[in-house]
Chain A
Amino acid sequence: MGIVLGLIIGAVVGGLAYGYRTVGQAAFGAVAGVAGSAAIMAGLGFCMFADDAESTEGVLGLALAGAVGWMFAAGARAAFAQSGDGDGGGGFGESEIRTGAYRLGWWWPWVLLSPTLIILIFFLYWPAIQTFRLSTKLTRLGAPRVGERCLANFSELLVTDPALVAALPLAAIGVIWGMALWNNRAAPGTVAAAIARALQPLGIVVLLLALYFVFEGDNGGFRQIYVNTLIVSVGTVALSMIFGLALAYLTFRRVRGITVYRTLLIWPYAISPPIAGILFFMIFNATGGILAALAERWGFDFPDYTQDASLARFTIILASVWKLLGYNLLFFLAGLQTVPRDQIEAAAIDGANAWNRFRLIVLPALGPISFFLLITNLTYSFFDVYGTIDFLTRGAPAGATSVAIYEIIRVGVDNGDLGRGAAQSVVLFLAVIALTAWQFKQSEGRISYGGA
């Protein structure tokens, strides 16, 4: 039953992913999709539909079948249908690249690429594959046996109701799709189009909300970690980029000794995250911290950030922002050099005020840099905050600052539970992939890299 359902989902998804302009294409896509879903289900031994499996595991199995089916179909399209359906033409002028010929033979590019490929395979793809494999197991270093967990390492992060697990993400995807459709259909310039455009960001909010309710909320569930990660990353990225840009704009002017200011501002970047943790610990610690001592002298009661969830998160964000600020400043400064001065001067002559000049000329020109920083900052807040958290709060109070990467290291490394650690890192991996894909989609056509 479950297997058949999985194959059907694979077929449908595959057909959709391959492109369904002709029956032949759709059929080919469906075959690829079925192959994908069959491969992943058989690879796991159909364990997600076994009698002793949780029903949420079955739902996850179907989702996995669909996802791999989609990958197979999309991969097939990439391999066979590139030139045919005229879909190509990304942003980089592919046709120009393709016209180059390698006189030494087709293998020559691979030889040139091999140093990079070897490094990527051994240090990136292979460990990534191992992570996926470990995530279906119960295993520890030095254990005489390995336990099969199928998808239980994942399903235990979710609520136990399979209907909820299946319905909520589907509903969210439905909302996003519906809105995209509305946006496409609405005639440009009409009120409907304006509303559709304005409502676009709602899709992501709906998806985030759906995930909130899909993750288990009780003790040991993933919901709290999900919320922590969202708050800390969004807070860190938003504040560090805003302050980074503001500082860069201020230090871009010609002032006496500006190079000294700039150098000093960039310094925090050279400090490692744990040191940032220690520094902020020295400042904010309620027992012996600098601020606590000052507060005591002036008769205030300095709040203990480890006892209050919002304060604790804010302290983590503050430390990360401080750490990222120098980096962002550096790139924004470089970006500001590329802003065309003639346009600014022309706008000034035409009577545009400073704020408008900044909003309409400087900001768009900084698009590519901002996009790059958005991704690197997000990566930082997802992966590099461990040291800061470990020194500042160790997840306190009661897990309010335990973000995904902190929990992964605690479970997988400190407790030695490799399977659960791997499963959680797969979740984080998927989140990063989804976010990156979404950002690329959002920025398509909006960011100008200069040039034609």
Chain B
Amino acid sequence: MRRLLALLFALMLIAAACGSDDDSDDAGDDTGEDTTTEETAADDGAEDDAADEGDAADEGDEAAAETETIQMWIGFADEARVGFSEDRAAAFNAAHPEYNVEVTSFDSYNTVFEQAQLAIDEGNPPEIIHFFEAATQEALDAVDSDGNPIFASVTEATAGRDEILGEPVVLDDVVSAATNYYTIDGELYSMPWNTSSTVMFSNMDILSEAGISEPPTTWAGVEEACAAIMALPDAPSQGCITWPNHGWFYEQSLGQMGADLVNNDNGRSGRATEIILNSPEAVEYMQWWSDLNQSGDYVYTGVQRDWDGTSAAFLAQNVAMLIYSSSDTTVLTEGGVENGFDVSASPMPYNQDIDYEGNLIGGATLWLANGLSEAEQDGALAFLNFFSNPENAAEWHKVTGYIPITNSAVSLLEEEGWYEENPNSLVASTQLNAAAATPAATGAFVGNFVAIRDVVTAAIEDILVNNVDVAERMATAQDEAQQQLDDYNELYGE
């Protein structure tokens, strides 16, 4: 009885809260409310420090003695990428003793975004925030508890300068694929950093054994190659080809066929309000994928967004071909060498029956927090430009396989003869340069993109595992995704 009473007490508290809190809800700060109040109490000390720093910077000259801390939060946790970032930050700090760039690493883009939003509401945001392409719309729409945008436009902050604190501005030098994707109303809101595309990696040992000299470039080519490969006496144990069930691959195929994912020119001429998951192109791609799965050529690892499982199958030579992100070109090529086979990268296969329009980029950019003091903003901008200067951009490309983000980095790599030694590294850049500048081949801007991708991958899994009708399942997915988009626009739309 006692326990039940305690329970009742808790429930009554809840009922009381439902009754009393309602009128405060139209204020935009509802979600941040509890965090702000609690954290202001707890973090008074920290905030004072931040305020002091800000004051000092505003007063100008006397701030020179103090070092300005620039926090950069990134969504990578692996040693190579975090190590690269910390290394460059140290180099920048050595060259600019008045600044101290600190890199903090988080396990995913989403975690960075969430933590950054909480920090912004708390009044002590990081200056530079790493955020991924699919959430560009969300980053643009996001506001703090006072209703101000949380990010500032990098183009606007640069204000036409050629150099900031002695660091040459590289913003105009960014390769066109990235510029096309991230430009909104003629401005780059964020500084492109890690940028990749989808490319195919082939186990050339298996392919040449099957009498194929060049990796296939079309869907029909993949089917033919797979027929030959699976007919081998020692055919790869799992199947012919695999790629992760990730929304990005679906979007890439739509781009190749020139089909938009959302209305209003893929969300680029106005806010996207309608999702298009059941277009003929989408259904055709899914049908091809499903057929390839039925015939046993495609290998589904059984888990959505399974980057590890698919690449492991390729490296274990259990499949002959892998469609993957070019960001892992270096790792996969070297992995092939370690496992004793030759890896060749080639463009993502496309539908030979429809004119090829173009593949999209993927990856992430570095966003500049809004409302920084001038000294902070300049320091952050200077670091961003330093971070992607030709030498650093070229090095970043070599370490990972992300495309060199500026044209001068590309020239630098060409001069060095890097591409002759590493032809696989050139594929993504070539593929992106070949893409038309149409909305479909540039990629969509749409809110709630992550949830929409979840709807797509769930539908794909249903099709692959349960073998349900493609057109019907995509129509259901269409309704679910539309609901996600409607919800988003209800909160963020004009």
**Which of A's residues lie within 8 Å of B, judged by CB?**
36, 39-40, 42-45, 68, 71-72, 74-75, 78, 87-90, 92, 94, 122, 125-126, 128-130, 132-133, 136-148, 219-220, 285-288, 296, 304-307, 393-399, 410, 414-418, 433, 437, 440
Contact A133 B31 (CB under 8 A): no
- B378 contacts the other chain (Cβ, under 8 Å)? no
> Is B2 a contact of A140 with CB atoms below 8 Å?
no
**B421 contacts A by Cβ under 8 Å:** no
Q: Are B309 and A142 in contact (CB-based, < 8 A)?
A: no
Top 6 A-B pairs, shortest CB-CB distance = A306-B302, A43-B19, A142-B142, A90-B1, A415-B451, A129-B17
**Residue contact A287 to B318, C-beta cutoff 8 Å:** yes
Which residues of chain A are within 8 angstroms of B32 by Cβ–Cβ distance? Answer: 141
Please pick, from B13, B25, B301, the residue contacting A129 in the complex, using a CB distance under 8 A: B13
24 contacts between A and B (CB under 8 A): A43-B15, A43-B18, A44-B22, A71-B11, A87-B1, A125-B13, A130-B34, A136-B18, A140-B31, A141-B31, A141-B114, A141-B117, A141-B118, A142-B143, A142-B144, A143-B143, A146-B26, A305-B302, A306-B302, A307-B302, A394-B306, A414-B110, A415-B448, A417-B451
Q: Are B465 and A307 in contact (CB under 8 A)?
A: yes
Rounded to whole angstroms, the CA-CA distance of A130 and B18 in the bound complex is 9
Task: Check if B304 is an interface residue, CB within 8 A of chain A.
Answer: yes
Q: Are B150 and A288 in contact (CB under 8 A)?
A: no
- Write the B1-45 contact mask toward A (1 if CB under 8 angstroms, else 0): 111110111111111111111100110101110100010000000
Given contacts A288-B312, A410-B454, contact A143 B492 (CB under 8 A): yes
Beta-carbon contact of A287 and B14 below 8 Å: no
Q: Once the chains bind, are A143 and B8 in contact (CB under 8 Å)?
A: no
A394 in contact with B31 given A42-B19, A414-B450 (CB within 8 Å):
no
The reply to whether B318 and A219 form a contact with Cβ atoms under 8 Å apart is no
B314 CB, nearest partner CB in chain A, Å: 10
Q: Evaluate contact between A133 and B17: CB separation under 8 angstroms.
A: yes
Could you tell me if B19 and A397 are in contact, using CB atoms closer than 8 angstroms? no
The answer to whether the Cβ of B480 comes within 8 Å of any Cβ in the partner chain is: yes
Task: Tell me the bound Cα distance from A94 to B5 in angstroms.
Answer: 13
User: Which residues from chain A contact B144 at a C-beta distance below 8 Å?
Assistant: 142
How far, in angstroms, from A305 to B465 measured CA to CA in the complex? 12
**Whole-angstrom distance between the Cβ of A96 and the nearest chain B Cβ:** 13
The distance in angstroms between the C-alpha atoms of A89 and B304, with both chains bound, is: 55
Report the separation of the CA atoms of residues A418 and B20 in the bound assembly, to the nearest whole angstrom: 20
CA A141 to CA B121, docked complex, whole Å: 10
Cβ–Cβ contact A142 & B117, under 8 A: yes
CB distance from B444 to the nearest CB of A (A): 17
Q: Are B491 and A139 in contact (CB under 8 A)?
A: yes
Bound complex: CA A416 to CA B237 (Å): 40
| Interface flags, B298-331, vs A, CB<8A=1, else 0 | 0011111110010011001010000000000000
Query: A433 — which chain B residues lie within 8 A by C-beta?
Result: 7
User: Min CB distance, A282 to chain B, in Å?
Assistant: 12
**Nearest neighbor of B491 in chain A, beta-carbon distance:** A143
- Taking the closest CB of chain B, its distance from the CB of A167, in whole angstroms, is 25
B12 engages A396 (CB within 8 Å) = no
Contact across chains for A398 and B465 when beta carbons are under 8 A apart: yes
Shortest Cβ gap from B460 to chain A (Å)? 10
Question: Which residue of chain B is the closest to A68 with respect to CB atoms?
Answer: B15
With a CB–CB cut-off of 8 A, which chain B residues contact A418? 31
Chain A proximity of B186: nearest CB distance (Å): 24
Chain B's nearest CB lies how many Å from the CB of A306?
Answer: 2
| Contact across chains for A415 and B491 when beta carbons are under 8 A apart | no
Judged by a CB distance under 8 angstroms, whether B466 is at the interface is: yes
For the complex, give the distance between the alpha carbons of A42 and B301 in Å. 51
Query: Which A residues are in CB contact (< 8 Å) with B450?
Result: 414-416
Which residue of chain A has its CB nearest to the CB of B487?
Answer: A138
B458 at the interface (CB under 8 A from A): yes
The reply to whether A144 and B461 form a contact with Cβ atoms under 8 Å apart is: no
| Contact, CB under 8 Å: B238 / A287 | yes
With A40-B15, A145-B491, A146-B30 already in contact, the answer to whether A78 and B8 are too (CB < 8 A) is yes
Q: A142-B138, A394-B304, A437-B4 are in contact. List 9 more A-B contacts (CB 8 A).
A: A40-B19, A42-B19, A133-B18, A146-B31, A287-B313, A287-B316, A306-B302, A307-B300, A397-B461
Verify A440–B3 contact, CB threshold 8 A.
Answer: yes
Q: With A and B bound together, what is the CA distance between A148 and B141 in angstroms? A: 20
Give bound CA distance, A142 to B304, whole Å: 27
Query: Cβ of B185 < 8 Å from any Cβ of A?
Result: no
B270 at the A/B interface (Cβ < 8 Å)?
A: no
Contact A396 B491 (CB under 8 A): no
B354 → A minimal CB distance (Å): 29
Q: Which residues of B contact A285 (CB under 8 A)?
A: 309
A71 touches B3 (CB 8 A): no
Kindly list chain B residues whose C-beta atoms are within 8 Å of the C-beta of A139. Answer: 30-31, 491
- B490 interface hit (Cβ, 8 Å): yes
Tell whether B476 is near chain A: CB-to-CB under 8 Å.
yes
| Chain A residues near B25 (CB-CB < 8 A) | 137, 146, 148
Contact, CB under 8 Å: B462 / A75 = no
Pick from A42, A142, A398, A440: contact of B150, CB under 8 Å:
A142
Cα A286 to Cα B18 with chains together (Å): 49
* Complex interface: chain A residues within 8 A of B8 (CB): 71, 74-75, 78
Task: Give the residues in chain A near B166, CB-CB below 8 Å.
Answer: none
CB-contact partner of A75 in B12, B28, B34, B303, under 8 A: B12
Neighbouring B residues of A130 by C-beta, 8 Å: 34
Is there a chain A Cβ closer than 8 Å to B233's Cβ?
Answer: no
A394 touches B303 (CB 8 A): yes
Tell me how far the C-beta of B465 lies from the nearest C-beta in chain A, rounded to whole angstroms.
Answer: 4
Q: How far apart sit A129 and B22, CA to CA, in the bound complex (Å)?
A: 13
Q: What's the Cα separation between A395 and B305 when bound, in Å?
A: 12
Which of B12, B14, B34, B491 lies in contact with A140, CB distance below 8 A? B491
Q: State the Cβ distance, B275 to closest chain A Cβ, in Å.
A: 15
Asked if B147 CB lies within 8 Å of chain A CBs, one says yes
Given contacts A130-B34, A140-B491, A396-B304, A288 and B316 within 8 Å (CB-CB): yes
- In the complex where A125-B13, A307-B465 touch, is A393 in contact with B138 (Cβ < 8 A)? no
Contact A395 to B304, CB < 8 A, known contacts A39-B19, A146-B26, A146-B31: yes
B457 → chain A closest CB, angstroms: 10
Q: A219 — nearest CB in chain B belongs to which residue?
A: B476
The docked-state distance in angstroms from the alpha carbon of A358 to that of B450 is 55
Given known A-B contacts A45-B22, A287-B312, A132 and B143 have beta carbons under 8 A apart: no
Contact A145 B28 (CB under 8 A): yes
A314 → chain B closest CB, angstroms? 14
Neighbouring B residues of A393 by C-beta, 8 Å: 302-303
- Whether the pair A138, B302 counts as a contact (CB closer than 8 A) is no
Q: How far is the CA of A410 from the CA of B147 in the complex (A)?
A: 27
Asked if residues A132 and B17 are in contact (CB atoms below 8 Å), the reply is: yes
* Chain A, residue nearest B28 (CB): A144
B residues within 8 A CB of A288?
Answer: 312-313, 316
**Shortest beta-carbon distance from A334 to chain B in Å:** 23
B185 to chain A, nearest CB (A): 19
Q: Which residues of A contact B118 (CB under 8 A)?
A: 141
Measured between C-beta atoms, what is the minimum distance from A79 to chain B in Å?
A: 10
Which residues on the A side are within 8 Å of B304 (C-beta)?
A: 394-396
**In the complex, what residue of chain B is closest to A71 when comparing beta carbons?**
B11
Chain A: CB-nearest residue to B116: A142
CB distance from A243 to the nearest CB of B (A): 27
- Whether the Cβ atoms of B4 and A146 lie closer than 8 Å is no
Cα distance, A89 to B2, chains bound together (Å) = 9
